[in-house]
Amino acid sequence: MDSYKIEDSFRDVRPINFDQSEPRKPHNPKLIRNFIIILIIIMGILLTLITLMILWFTIVNSKVNELDKQNKELKNSTQEMKIIIQGLNKKDEEMSQQIVQFKQQLADLNPKPGPIPLTITNISGSFYVVSEFTYLSSADQEKCIPMERVFTRGIYRFEVKINRESVPIIGVQDARLFIPFGMSLNNPSVNRNNMYFQGDSAVVWQSGQNTAGNQHFKDGDLVAIELNMDSPIRTVHFFINGEQQPVFGSRLPNEIKVYIGDSVSLISFDCLSEPTAVRQKDEIEKMWII
């Protein structure tokens, strides 16, 4: 009987609930939906920003490439312009030379008596320029400096003062001839195309052969040559201190230049109406031999 009561008492015992919190409420569907919408909007904004950045970088890169291309084109255009300018400058120089030659040709057709402007041919080598007509050598070597003017007609007198006697020379050459510094005037490649009076030996050279008969000239002497391109035999006469020398040149080429080969000072350079050279009993003609 006692055991029965005990069992009944156990049946009436209820389990103890240790969780004292309130029961969970179900999730709010509207809140979840709003959250998802906000998340989608944020992602859309991010995607839009990324797209805009990509587009911006693309545009910037395109602009940079375009600027690089324009810069290269500008450089190419500048280079082409420089080439064009150089070409124009060259043509301008050629035109200037042609104008000078044309003026000279006009002057040669009807040479007028009087002083002539003197210019020295552009030369290069072992010398330096002190002034327009003062050239000092910087090396011990033979030098021939031609005047710029080409003579084809007329009568001309060119007079200089000898400043220093070493191997003083004064002469004429074929206008087409070029004699580089250091080359002897008697070199076989040039001696047929020039004729000169050498003061220390008092001889006239041409084509490797010399002819004696003139006087020596020295420091302080006035030495002149007189070209007569109107003469049928085209002559060159030499003068020392106003005295005509016996040996003269003839049969000169159609185009002649005057040159010097020592330290000299220009005294006069004139076009003459009549020659001052006259026939002499003791004259010696030296013909130009080619």
Share of the chain above pLDDT 90, in %: 25
In this prediction, residue 286 has a pLDDT band, given cuts at 50, 70 and 90, of very high
In this prediction, residue 252 has a pLDDT band, given cuts at 50, 70 and 90, of very high
**Contact call for residues 196 and 185 (beta carbons, < 8 A):** yes
For the chain, give the number of residues. 290
Specify if 127 maps to a domain: yes
Specify if 89 maps to a domain: no
> How much is the pLDDT for 17?
54
**Contact call for residues 194 and 286 (beta carbons, < 8 A):** no
Specify if 95 maps to a domain: no
Q: Reduce the secondary structure of 12-32 to three states and give it as a string.
A: CCCCCCCCCCCCCCCCCHHHH
pTM of the predicted model as reported, rounded to 2 decimal places: 0.58
> How much is the pLDDT for 226?
96
Specify if 8 maps to a domain: no
The owner of tokens 């191997």 is 167
In this prediction, residue 78 has a pLDDT band, given cuts at 50, 70 and 90, of confident
Q: Which residues of 196-212 are buried (b: 16+ CB within 10 A; e: fewer)?
A: bbbbeebbbbbbeebbe
Tokens of 175: 């206008």
**Contact call for residues 240 and 283 (beta carbons, < 8 A):** no
Count of domains forming the chain: 1
Specify if 46 maps to a domain: no
Specify if 56 maps to a domain: no
In this prediction, residue 24 has a pLDDT band, given cuts at 50, 70 and 90, of low
Among 84-93, 105-114, 158-167, 258-267, the range with the most confident prediction by mean pLDDT is 84-93
Q: Which CATH number goes with the domain that contains 259?
A: 2.60.120.920
Q: Phi-psi region for residue 234, left (φ > 0), alpha (ψ -120 to 50) or beta? A: left
For residue 135, how many C-alpha atoms fall within 13 Å in the half-sphere facing its CB? 21
Specify if 43 maps to a domain: no
Specify if 49 maps to a domain: no
> Collapsing DSSP states into helix, strand and coil, what is residue 260?
strand
> How much is the pLDDT for 251?
95
> How much is the pLDDT for 62?
86
Burial class (CB in 10 A: 0-12, 13-18, 19+), 232: exposed
Tokens of 8: 């009944």
Across the chain, what does the average pLDDT equal?
A: 80
In this prediction, residue 76 has a pLDDT band, given cuts at 50, 70 and 90, of confident
Q: Which amino acid, one-letter code, is at 241?
A: N
Tens-digit pLDDT profile for residues 92-150:
878 877 777 676 666 666 666 767 666 665 555 555 555 555 555 555 556 667 777 88
d(CA 231, CA 2): 179
**Contact call for residues 116 and 147 (beta carbons, < 8 A):** no
Q: Which uninterrupted H or E stretch holds 77?
A: helix 29-109
Q: Please give the residue range of the domain that contains residue 159.
A: 114-287
